[in-house]
Amino acid sequence: MTATTDGSTGALPPRAAAASETTEVTTPEAAGTVDTRDAAERAILRATDFLLSTQDAQGWWKGDLETNVTMDAEDLLLRQFLGIRDDETTRAAGLFIRGEQREDGTWATFYGGPGELSTTIEAYVALRLAGDAPDEPHMARASAWIRERGGIASARVFTRIWLALFGWWKWDDLPELPPELIYFPKWVPLNIYDFGCWARQTIVPLTVVSAKRPVRPAPFPLDELHTDANNPNPVKPLAPVGSWDGVFQRLDKALHTYRKVAPGRLRRAAMNTAARWIIERQENDGCWGGIQPPAVYSIIALHLLGYDLQHPVMREGLASLDRFTVWREDGARMIEACQSPVWDTCLATIALADAGVPADHPQLVKAADWMLGEEIVRPGDWAVKRPHLPPGGWAFEFHNDNYPDIDDTAEVVLALRRVKHHDPERMEKAIGRGVRWNLGMQSRNGAWGAFDVDNTSPFPNRLPFCDFGEVIDPPSADVTAHVVEMLAVEGLSHDPRTRRGIEWLLAEQEANGSWFGRWGVNYVYGTGSVVPALVAAGLPGSHPAIRRAVAWLETVQNDDGGWGEDLRSYHDVAEWSGRGASTASQTGWALLALLAAGERDSKAAERGVAWLAETQLADGSWDEPYFTGTGFPWDFSINYHLYRQVFPLTALGRYVNGEPFADRQGSFGRAS
């Protein structure tokens, strides 16, 4: 470690130290390169100090995970439903929700995005709970905008379910979700394992809610949110019978009829089976899957089945929700949809290693210790499809033993490989289990999804109930790339399973040279994930796929030297692909691809590095209000507050120090 000008310590990469002493400038071009390198070295020092200072004493990192105000609104509605809403919580939530309202009276789902109807309805109702009168200017603007767009009748199903809990919408006018679904064997279409794990954990408790159809006394009417007070629940016409939408709409009508004749004993048994399923999947911290929505609906379902609020399952479930709370300096209260300590910790470890922090640095060792302690060594829901696969992976959250994920497991292995640990045998065994588990989770097409194998049924997305976000978990380029990169580092570039992943990635490249980003925004993320993986697996920088990716990144670089991409690229590819205000995380992703492709000395890379150095704040961090993470493309967006730190530092470190594991890269494919 070397002292910085302010007396703090930073990890000056050895190559950087040597270069600063011996470089001789002979041309204007060389002068620019050296200036950029010097700026990058200084930025690395500041960013390293900042990131090291934010590590928890236990060894983990966690940035705030910011989504949208539906989390806060639904938290208040849950407390109202359970009869536990208090003045302080309501005041703090109202302060936060009010502060997120846009000038036109709406609420968006991401920074700078357009107003969104369901989000605006839920925020409006929450502010009514907080005491805001409907005739106040900010409320009147919101209700007018809601009516202009069809009112409550045009909201998504999940919003109308929340309103039905208080009689603001009729249960008869919601899609039916029978609890008997829990009995469908896994070979039957629309069994619960046809859904992605996040949807599965939400749907099972909602089958109970749908069967019970509870209605609590409404604290106020919502007439101002209907376009027609005399007909607040208009019936929508059915789609043509020959279409998939028409088929599933008629299936829903049949389920409504079945509800009237369903055998009472069967229905009660199904709800009790659902309750057991829910309770068996409650984590040690009281939550479900480490994410807020399944926890909320599970608490409601169990409450409807007679579990009182002092029951240990309920008590711990409610306590877990409090741990999703972020209190701000102004007294506002923001609810995280989930928390990302494993993901943040492995990314931070990689960033610091790339920055030149020694592999045996105490804070990296502590991070490795913590990650090793988070390994999941028991079967979870993934074992339904892979019953004979031994466990050994990592989840995203503090506690989520039922749902380790393939992406985190790959990145944790890559992070552990960067640390010199005092117990190498323990490290090797954990890495071996993680590699084995990831290989066992490969889908039939050669690629990898996030949580499950071959979770590609076309039917769940067709259900009228599923009108919000993704409900299946098909393989994606970004997850597959991270697995391929990990396998390459583990010396498995030539393994047939790795080759199948590489072939799938090459086939998935877009015509313009980019790759779609499922879990990050969007084509910049996909491309920034895939190119380093392909190069690590042995594809030369001259390979046509790599050259097309480089050319695309050069064409979408902003005039200021950075890269950015707006979430609207998920809806309007032609207009928004690779386009948006420059951000630190997305500039980092683009640079990771360029550097892996051998473009370290290119003008595009130099301009990107210069932008990162110029926009760094005095404390070594970067500011990034834009949402660059994805839960569901377009529908649910995330601002990972640590992304702005780890990805720029990783990119700057690789710019100065070169690519990691360069000596391990094999050869695969040739330029043609």
H, E, C per residue of 215-257:
CCCCCCCCHHHCCCCCCCCCCCCCCCCCCHHHHHHHHHHHHHH
Are 241 and 253 spatial neighbours (Cβ–Cβ below 8 Å)?
no
* E strand or H helix that includes residue 632: strand 629-632
Average pLDDT of the segment spanning 434-439: 98
Residue 32: predicted pLDDT: 62
| Closest C-alpha to 638, from 70, 101, 16 | 70
Task: Note the pLDDT tens digit of each residue in 134-151.
Answer: 999 999 999 999 999 999
Written as six digits, the tokens of 245 are 């939408």
| In CATH, 65-232+246-335 is 1.50.10.20 | yes
**Class of domain 54-63+340-456+470-508 (CATH, top level):** mainly alpha
Structure tokens at 379: 């079967």
Q: How much is the pLDDT for 229?
A: 65
Q: What is the pLDDT of residue 590?
A: 98
Q: Look up the CATH architecture of domain 512-658.
A: Alpha/alpha barrel (1.50)
Spatial contact of 488 and 501, defined as CB atoms under 8 Å apart: no
495 is catalytic: no
Whether pLDDT at 501 is above 60: yes
d(CA 87, CA 76): 11
CB contact at 8 A, 92 and 104: no
Largest pairwise CA distance in the chain = 87
**Active-site annotation holder among 72, 401, 407, 478:** 407
d(CA 616, CA 50) in angstroms, rounded, equals 11
Query: What is the rounded end-to-end Cα distance, in angstroms, of the chain?
Result: 45
Report d(CA 655, CA 201) in Å as an integer.
Answer: 42
The whole-model pTM stands at 0.91
Average confidence score pLDDT of the chain: 91
DSSP state of 383: G
428-455: average pLDDT: 97
Which of 231 and 250 is assigned the larger pLDDT? 250
Instruction: Give the separation between CA 171 and CA 236, rounded to whole angstroms.
Output: 15
State pLDDT tens for residues 79-125: 999 999 999 999 999 999 999 999 999 999 999 999 999 999 999 99
In angstroms and rounded to an integer, the radius of gyration of the C-alpha atoms of the chain is 26
Confidence tier at 2 by pLDDT (50, 70, 90): very low
Domains 54-63+340-456+470-508 and 512-658 share a fold: yes
Taking the CB of residue 105, how many other CB atoms lie within 10 A of it?
Answer: 19
Half-sphere CA count of 297, side-chain side, radius 13 A: 24
Q: One-letter amino acid identity for 298?
A: S
> Would you list the domain boundaries of the chain?
54-63+340-456+470-508, 65-232+246-335, 512-658
CA distance 208 to 214: 10
Q: What is the band of 663 on the pLDDT scale with cuts at 50, 70, 90? A: low
* SS3 at position 233: coil
The set of residues, in sequence order, having a beta carbon less than 8 Å from that of 85 and lying 6+ positions away, is: 76, 79, 129
Of 660 and 29, more confident: 660
pLDDT bin (cut points 50, 70, 90) of residue 468 is confident
pLDDT tens-digit series, residues 234-264: 767 777 877 777 777 788 788 889 889 999 9
